[in-house]
Structure 1
Amino acid sequence: MIENSSREIFSTTIEETFTSQGTNFSEIERDSFSKKMISEKYQPIYSEDRHTLVNFSQLAEKKLQDLLSYLKQFEQDFISYDENYETFLEKGLLSIFFSLKGNYVINKHSGTQKIWFVSPLSGNDTFFYDPKVSNWINNRGQYLDQMLENELSSIIGKH
């Protein structure tokens, strides 16, 4: 079981990082960093018609809730595989613990407007929201929910 201090590491925001650094960052440096994060690389998410701004936080939270609901459906299968299985969703961070295989961490990252995915099988990845398919997809065209489902099926031996 991960201690609360470990959980807090994953949910630290940029502002908390600046605050914890004390006076190392001036207001000008903070403003410059904020503007840098909203550069061409990290544009807001728009609907397919490019007229409606889509709320990243709501989309990401909904996806994390959907993934948690999926995990709850198969909780007994996961516990049968690993009695120490545990999952929780807290402050935009979904954690899945398998003592036999390793841990998954899936969290929303507002700065890049992506969902970050850490897997004991496939490593690290990021997913962006594609309004054309109304889903979270990585650069290789894989959907977040499908990738997680495939990996979990592989872990517990169900295909």
Structure 2
Amino acid sequence: LLGILLHLAPLGQDSLWLDEAFSVQAATNNDAATLWSQKVDTRHPPLYYILLRQTLITLGSESEAAARLPSALASLLNLALLYWLARLLSADAFTAWLTVALLALAPLSIWYAAEARMYALVTTAGLLLAVGLAADRWWGSLPAFAGLAAGLVLDYTIIPLWVGLVAVW
């Protein structure tokens, strides 16, 4: 509960910094087709900007809190995905809850939850990838594929993570 509060509380506290403002500007000044077909940002693929655009349209606001909401929701999903991963790797529920508590209180997790950038969503994609690789079941490839596919259209930093995880598993 404290982790949820820590991840949601700072959403509208500070004004947007330059990269966040660029994200909002790119998302609001381009339609989804333009975002998908043209590189608005040469260092990042288009999925985050499309998600941000849809969030801002749905909420009817370009406020700091609205722009940061996708990251905050992704960071909450990360807590659940980490619990799932910890349960796959350890049969002990206490270990899984302790792992989730550490992420819930981690300063970087809280920081990226309150940023209008794609990094919390990349963590979500990475956790999906790890869950899929750790699941020793027929369905394990589904979250792994979803995580890799989403990661590749969110941010290119998923590639070294994918290489490392595949090397481990």
Name whichever structure is richer in helix by fraction: 2
Instruction: Determine which structure has greater relative contact order: mean sequence separation of CA pairs < 8 Å that are 6+ residues apart, divided by chain length.
Output: 2
Q: Judge same fold: TM > 0.5, yes or no.
A: no
Larger Rg: 1
How would you bin the TM-score normalised by the shorter chain?
Answer: 0.3 to 0.5
Name whichever structure is richer in strand by fraction: 1
TM-score normalised over the length of structure 2: 0.35
TM-score normalised over the length of structure 1: 0.36
